[in-house]
């Protein structure tokens, strides 16, 4: 008596424990961590050995001292900049998703909206920031949010509309053969297919939102924001404070990206990219 053959593609690999997954992720990130600290150490040694002036390139120890000294100011500035970045991100992402649903459903909306979206995405931040400050007021946080909206709307629109339209034709035909309505096809086929595209765009938009907010702050407004701290400290040749503010902005951008990454793993754990990340 012969045993039935088993397709290797259907053999389930045992799931690793949470501790094993965390250990695997730490091992995978270890080279990057080692390189980071090595670069910091080389930076400190080289700048000290070459006796470079602080206004050319401060040492990491000087940046750390400025970070500790100016932390109250940096904390307030970071909170204000994050408010602008997150506010613009929420509005831009929401608008992009809503318009993407309309674009994927109606061809007339697609032909009317996509050219405008492409044109808006081509506007340089440097050109748009003074205009937004003039429209909404130089002290109004929405002037900076408007720049973030311009940066985040187009990637979200394009990615989500692509996910809603580039679905498997066989799956759609099978749903229609089962007398499924368009709403059921949208809910069970198109939206699940669009979720990976949505999170890809969201991870891009998180970094763009902080970049847009900081650059928009260069053109005026409250002094209690990271962009103004960078401009004012560099004008006083206090580049240790400048680098400290840049480090805070970079840390905030990394935190926003990681939050989007965690949300992706929680919402679509079934996607192939998440299974590969766990393996």
**CATH number, domain with residue 119:** 1.10.3720.10
Is 94 contained in some domain? yes
In this predicted structure, what is the pLDDT of residue 103? 84
Is 14 contained in some domain? no
**Closest residue by Cα to residue 204 from 266, 159, 164:** 159
Q: Which residues of the chain have pLDDT under 50?
A: 1-13
Is 12 contained in some domain? no
Is 88 contained in some domain? yes
Is 27 contained in some domain? no
Is 72 contained in some domain? yes
* Number of domains forming the structure of the chain: 1
For residue range 13-46, list pLDDT tens digits in order.
Answer: 455 665 666 666 667 777 888 888 888 888 888 8
Domain with 90 in it: 63-272
The answer to whether 60 and 40 are in contact (CB under 8 A) is: yes
In this predicted structure, what is the pLDDT of residue 183? 82
The answer to whether 89 and 255 are in contact (CB under 8 A) is: no
Is 19 contained in some domain? no
The answer to whether 172 and 182 are in contact (CB under 8 A) is: no
Is 99 contained in some domain? yes
- Interatomic CA distance for residues 198 and 211, integer angstroms: 20
For residue range 235-273, list pLDDT tens digits in order.
Answer: 888 888 999 999 999 999 999 999 999 898 888 887 655
- Interatomic CA distance for residues 5 and 44, integer angstroms: 62
In this predicted structure, what is the pLDDT of residue 74? 92
């Amino acid at each position: 008596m012969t045993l039935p053959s088993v397709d290797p593609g259907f053999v389930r690999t045992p799931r690793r424990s949470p501790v094993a997954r965390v250990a695997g992720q730490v091992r995978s990130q270890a080279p990057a961590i080692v390189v980071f600290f090595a670069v910091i150490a080389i930076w400190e040694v080289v700048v000290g050995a070459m006796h470079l002036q602080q206004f050319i390139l401060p040492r990491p120890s000087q940046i750390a001292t400025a970070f500790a000294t100016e932390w109250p100011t940096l904390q307030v500035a970071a909170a204000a900049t994050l408010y602008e970045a997150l506010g613009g991100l929420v509005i831009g992402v929401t608008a992009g998703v809503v318009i993407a649903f309309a674009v994927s459903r109606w061809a007339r909306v697609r032909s009317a909206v996509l050219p405008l979206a492409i044109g808006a995405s081509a506007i340089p931040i440097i050109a748009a920031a003074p205009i937004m400050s003039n429209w909404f007021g130089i002290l109004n946080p929405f002037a900076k949010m408007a720049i973030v909206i311009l940066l985040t709307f187009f990637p979200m629109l394009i990615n989500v509309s692509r996910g809603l339209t580039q679905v498997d034709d066989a799956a759609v035909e099978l749903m229609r053969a089962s007398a499924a309505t368009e709403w059921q096809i949208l809910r069970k086929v198109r939206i699940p297919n669009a979720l990976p595209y949505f999170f890809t765009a969201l991870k891009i938009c998180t970094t763009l939102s902080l970049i847009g907010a900081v650059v928009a702050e260069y053109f005026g407004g409250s002094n209690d924001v990271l962009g103004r701290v960078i401009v004012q400290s560099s004008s006083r040749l206090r580049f240790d404070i400048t680098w400290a503010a840049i480090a805070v902005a970079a840390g905030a951008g990394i935190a926003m990206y990681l939050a989007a990454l965690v949300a992706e793993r929680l919402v679509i754990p079934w996607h192939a990219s998440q299974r590969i990340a766990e393996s």
